[in-house]
């Protein structure tokens, strides 16, 4: 059983436990900086990046403005190609549909390709409750699952684990899930990858049902696209008899030609590659090649609510490249778990509260988990103005319940930021470059001024923050990332 | 009770109250000011670019002519120590004309993943290749077999003809048929999930060898 994000503490609390963990912090810093630099080089190779980005943005906006049309078009195309389309208004409906489809096959196991949509709906837990075991097959997801842990980064979910920990996790847990780790397994990454290959191969060969997400659905052709590196995606999409893909309704692109934009934007933004090792595209079913039963579950789960906000709707352009995480000074210090959902970092801060509707303290605190430096907007391949949406969401938090516990939770997030001078100096450096991108209402002459000047930020509760921040050193030792993050 | 489909569509339409009703074409088309290619190379220069980008992502690249292809394929299989090779039913027979003493598994709907798991190599052609990104595209078309053929064995040899090379993604897409199942391959499978250290080969073939055939008789 893997954990869920339900019941996570609000941002400042969760960030506090993460920042206390020196190893997690060091791993994150190294990782985010490495990916960030590589990405910048990959993007610089294309002198028409700005034009690609503009097209990506416009194509997605057009899709969203006519989403009902494109959904129906995709439904028709997938059905015509031999697939079955299901619609799920929320997580419970989607989980019900998938569980029923699996049960109808008579199987009690499924193999899974990494999918954020299925994490969002807690599919693995829902299947477990029905006696169905879901095996994660992405290496990082496997590590997370074997460790009974939570992912912390969109692209490299086990970024908070280092090689020694991973070896221990494999040695300790592989046997419980299937083929045990090889004798004498060391912490050499190639050996660890080999252990994962052997462990999962037997599962791929016997799997009858696979569950995936998709990076894109082409409305005009009904084609689904999965972008990956390891080949676990190909295994899941090709070998089983039944394939169930759970995909958010915002993942559509209108035409086949549009892939020329997104398959240039995504790999370079995400893994900093000209092209990722494997991309699978399929349209319905193909006789005697791949699954003979294909089910597409179109998931709303708050997306249509997000669409209703004319400023916030741009969050639905997101192609989950994770570039915004890697440049975010707050993410780097707070860690992915602090965001309390499968969507961490800047995109999580604007997506989660909109999908879930600002109902609880986590969601209300997220729009404040940012210094509004604008670095996320600069790198976003579909030009989502994350600071603009954050400001809008802050207004919603304050308007919705002034003086309420939600607002207090939000203020604590802001306080966490003020207590991290390094976040601000990083923010300022970026702001120098991105000043033109700042929302007008929040000029950035200096960090404190920006905060105190903005009308959506009341006086900050200074003391309690100082208290926990000062106490943090006493507890800085003897914590593992897992214990900290899961609390 | 209305169906989830109707409820979702109704919510989406309500959320889009600010959008004037009408088909998407009422909106101006998305601008496409990006390049159709980032290279002007053609002919041998384009093949060289493809080879360079494939090699950059750790594929092993061979360049040859059609006359020498059978010899080269035999050599590659020998060097890999292969004793069995899986091939599509419509593999051009001359490709393996110089390969002897090798078990051949011919792809068919009856060939199982379990059987392929015991095969040393897979040999196929491709639908096309993209020079700029170092990508080969398989679409289960001529000389390619089903998708699992190039997935389960640990060694994939892929033959590309010069006329199959497109410069860029925008030039490749119109040549591909969306109704066919496609696998785009850019180097062997890889992971960077452990401390961001790149490891080649997780689940797909750990060794990818690409043979670019210039077609000019030698
Ligand atoms: S918001 Fe933009 S940068 Fe962040 S994950 Fe989404 S597409 Fe990538």
The per-residue pLDDT for range A277-314, each reduced to its tens digit, is 999 999 999 999 999 999 999 999 999 999 999 999 99
Q: Which residues of B touch A232 (CB under 8 A)?
A: 202-203
pLDDT at residue A420, as a whole number: 66
Q: Which residues of A touch B178 (CB under 8 A)?
A: 218, 221, 223, 256, 281, 283
Query: Per residue in A54-87, pLDDT tens?
Result: 999 999 999 999 999 999 999 999 999 999 999 9
Of B8, B57, B114, the CB nearest to A89: B8
Strand B135-138 relative to strand B103-106, pairing: unpaired
The reply to whether ligand 1 has any atom less than 6 angstroms from the CB of A97 is no
B36 domain residue, yes or no? no
Report how far ligand 1's centroid is from the alpha carbon of B154 (Å): 34
pLDDT at residue A474, as a whole number: 35
With 80 as the cut, is the pLDDT of residue A404 above it?
no
pLDDT at residue A461, as a whole number: 31
SS3 readout for A283-301: ECCECCECCCEEEEEEECC
A residues 185-224 closer than 8 Å to B (CB):
189-190, 192-193, 196-197, 200-201, 204-205, 218, 221, 223
B1 domain residue, yes or no? no
With 80 as the cut, is the pLDDT of residue A1 above it?
no
Is residue A287 classed exposed, middle or buried when 0-12, 13-18 and 19+ CB atoms within 10 A define those classes? exposed
Of A426, A431, A401, A417, give the one whose Cα is nearest residue A469. Answer: A417
More confident residue, A412 or A376: A376
Report how far ligand 1's centroid is from the alpha carbon of A379 (Å): 8
The reply to whether ligand 1 has any atom less than 6 angstroms from the CB of A59 is no
How many CA atoms are closer than 13 Å to the CA of A335, on its beta-carbon side? 30
With 70 as the cut, is the pLDDT of residue A433 above it?
no
Query: How far, in Å, CA of A186 to CA of A296, rounded?
Result: 41
Distances (CA, A) of A356 to A98, A300, A306, A456, B197: 21, 11, 9, 21, 36
A residues 271-310 closer than 8 Å to B (CB):
271, 273-283, 286, 288-290, 298, 300, 304-305, 307-308, 310
pLDDT at residue B201, as a whole number: 76
Residue ranges of domains in chain A, CATH in brackets: 11-305 (3.40.50.10420), 405-486 (no CATH)
Is the full-model pTM beyond 0.90?
no
- Count structural domains, chain B: 1
Beta strands in A122-180 (DSSP E): 133-136
B26 domain residue, yes or no? no
Band (pLDDT 50/70/90 cuts) for residue A31 is confident
Q: Note whether B100 contacts A: Cβ–Cβ < 8 A.
A: no
Band (pLDDT 50/70/90 cuts) for residue A129 is very high
Q: Do B190 and A230 touch (CB under 8 A)?
A: yes
B8 domain residue, yes or no? no
First to last CA, chain B: 73
B148 domain residue, yes or no? yes
Strand A252-253 relative to strand A216-218, pairing: parallel
Q: Do A234 and B204 touch (CB under 8 A)?
A: yes
Q: Do B193 and A139 touch (CB under 8 A)?
A: yes
Helix axis angle, A11-20 to A405-418, nearest 10°: 30
| Strand partners of residue A109 | A133
Q: Note whether A229 contacts B: Cβ–Cβ < 8 A.
A: yes
CATH number of the domain at B108, please: 3.40.50.10420
Domain limits at B167? 43-213
Band (pLDDT 50/70/90 cuts) for residue A465 is very low
A413 contacts: CB under 8 Å, gap ≥ 6 = A10, A11, A12, A365, A366, A368, A369
B119 domain residue, yes or no? yes
Report how far ligand 1's centroid is from the alpha carbon of A317 (Å): 8
Query: Per residue in A204-232, pLDDT tens?
Result: 999 999 999 999 999 999 999 999 999 99
pLDDT at residue A422, as a whole number: 60
Cβ atoms of A8 and A337 closer than 8 Å = yes
With 90 as the cut, is the pLDDT of residue B69 above it?
yes
Reported ipTM: the value is 0.96
Report how far ligand 1's centroid is from the alpha carbon of A436 (Å): 20
> Can you say whether the dihedral through the CA atoms of A311, A312, A313, A314 is positive or negative?
positive
Report how far ligand 1's centroid is from the alpha carbon of A386 (Å): 9
How many CA atoms are closer than 13 Å to the CA of B126, on its beta-carbon side? 30
B135 domain residue, yes or no? yes
Q: Do B193 and A156 touch (CB under 8 A)?
A: yes
For the CA of A351, the nearest atom of ligand 1: 1
The residue-averaged pLDDT of A371-400 equals 90
Q: How far off is chain B from A62, nearest CA to CA, in Å?
A: 7
Nearest CA in chain B to A45: B38
B136 domain residue, yes or no? yes
The residue-averaged pLDDT of A100-125 equals 95
Of A48, A140, A193, the CB nearest to B199: A193
């Amino acid at each position: 059983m893997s954990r869920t994000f339900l019941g996570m503490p609000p941002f400042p609390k969760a960030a506090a436990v993460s920042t206390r963990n020196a190893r997690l912090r060091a791993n994150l810093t190294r990782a985010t900086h490495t990916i960030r630099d590589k990405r910048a080089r990959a993007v610089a190779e294309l002198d028409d990046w700005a034009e690609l980005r503009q097209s990506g943005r416009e194509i997605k906006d057009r899709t969203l403005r006519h989403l009902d049309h494109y959904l129906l078009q995709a439904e028709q195309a997938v059905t015509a190609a031999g697939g079955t389309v299901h619609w799920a208004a929320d997580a419970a409906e989607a989980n019900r549909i998938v569980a029923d489809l699996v049960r109808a096959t008579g199987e009690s196991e499924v193999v899974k390709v990494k999918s954020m949509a299925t994490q969002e709906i807690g599919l693995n837990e829902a299947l477990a409750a029905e006696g169905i075991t879901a095996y994660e097959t992405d290496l990082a997801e496997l590590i997370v699952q074997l460790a009974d842990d939570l992912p912390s980064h969109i692209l490299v979910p086990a970024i908070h684990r280092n090689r020694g920990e991973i070896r221990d996790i494999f040695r300790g847990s592989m046997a419980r899930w299937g083929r045990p780790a090889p004798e004498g397994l060391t912490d050499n990454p190639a050996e660890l990858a080999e252990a994962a290959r052997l462990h999962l191969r037997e599962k791929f060969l016997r799997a009858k049902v696979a569950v995936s997400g998709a990076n894109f659905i082409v409305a005009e052709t009904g084609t689904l696209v999965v972008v990956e590196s390891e080949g676990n995606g190909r295994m899941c999409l090709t070998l089983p008899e039944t394939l169930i893909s759970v995909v958010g309704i915002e993942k559509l692109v209108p035409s086949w030609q549009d892939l020329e934009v997104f398959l240039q934007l995504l790999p370079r933004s995400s893994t900093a590659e000209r092209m990722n090792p494997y991309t699978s595209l399929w349209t319905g079913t193909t006789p005697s090649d791949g699954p003979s039963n294909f089910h597409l579950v179109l998931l709303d789960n708050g997306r249509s609510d997000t669409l209703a906000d004319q400023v916030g709707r741009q969050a639905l352009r997101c192609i989950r490249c994770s570039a915004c995480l890697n440049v975010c000074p707050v993410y780097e210090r707070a860690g992915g778990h602090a965001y309390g959902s499968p969507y961490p970092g800047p995109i999580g801060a604007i997506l989660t509260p909109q999908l879930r509707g600002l109902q609880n303290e986590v969601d209300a605190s997220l729009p404040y988990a940012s210094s509004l430096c604008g670095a996320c907007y600069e790198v976003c391949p579909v030009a989502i103005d994350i600071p603009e949406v954050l400001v809008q969401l802050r207004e919603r938090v304050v308007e919705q319940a002034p003086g309420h516990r939600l607002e207090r939770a939000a203020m604590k997030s802001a306080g966490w930021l003020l207590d991290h001078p390094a976040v601000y100096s990083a923010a300022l450096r970026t702001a120098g470059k991105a000043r033109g991108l700042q929302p007008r209402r929040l000029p950035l002459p200096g960090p404190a001024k920006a905060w105190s000047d903005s009308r959506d930020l009341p006086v900050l509760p200074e003391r309690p923050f100082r208290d926990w921040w000062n106490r943090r050193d006493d507890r800085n030792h003897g914590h593992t990332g897992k214990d900290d993050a899961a609390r | 009770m209305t169906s989830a489909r109707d409820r979702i569509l109704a919510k989406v339409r309500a959320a889009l109250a600010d959008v004037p009703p009408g088909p998407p074409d009422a909106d101006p088309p998305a601008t496409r000011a990006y390049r159709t290619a980032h290279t002007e190379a053609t002919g041998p220069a384009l093949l060289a670019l493809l080879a360079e980008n494939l090699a950059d992502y750790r594929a092993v690249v061979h360049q040859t002519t059609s006359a020498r292809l059978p010899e080269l394929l035999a050599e590659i299989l020998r060097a890999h120590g292969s004793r069995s090779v899986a091939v599509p039913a419509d593999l051009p027979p001359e490709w393996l004309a110089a390969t002897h003493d090798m078990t051949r598994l011919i792809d068919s709907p009856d060939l199982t993943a379990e059987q392929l798991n015991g095969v040393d190599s897979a040999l196929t052609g491709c639908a096309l290749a993209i020079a700029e990104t170092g990508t080969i595209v398989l679409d289960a078309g001529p000389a390619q077999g089903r998708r699992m053929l190039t997935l389960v064995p640990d060694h994939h040899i892929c033959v590309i003809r010069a006329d199959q090379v497109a410069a860029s993604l925008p030039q490749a897409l119109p040549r591909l048929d969306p109704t066919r199942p496609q696998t785009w391959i850019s180097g062997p499978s890889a992971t960077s999930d452990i401390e961001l250290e790149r490891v080649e080969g997780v689940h797909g073939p750990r060794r990818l060898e690409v043979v670019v055939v210039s077609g000019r008789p030698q």
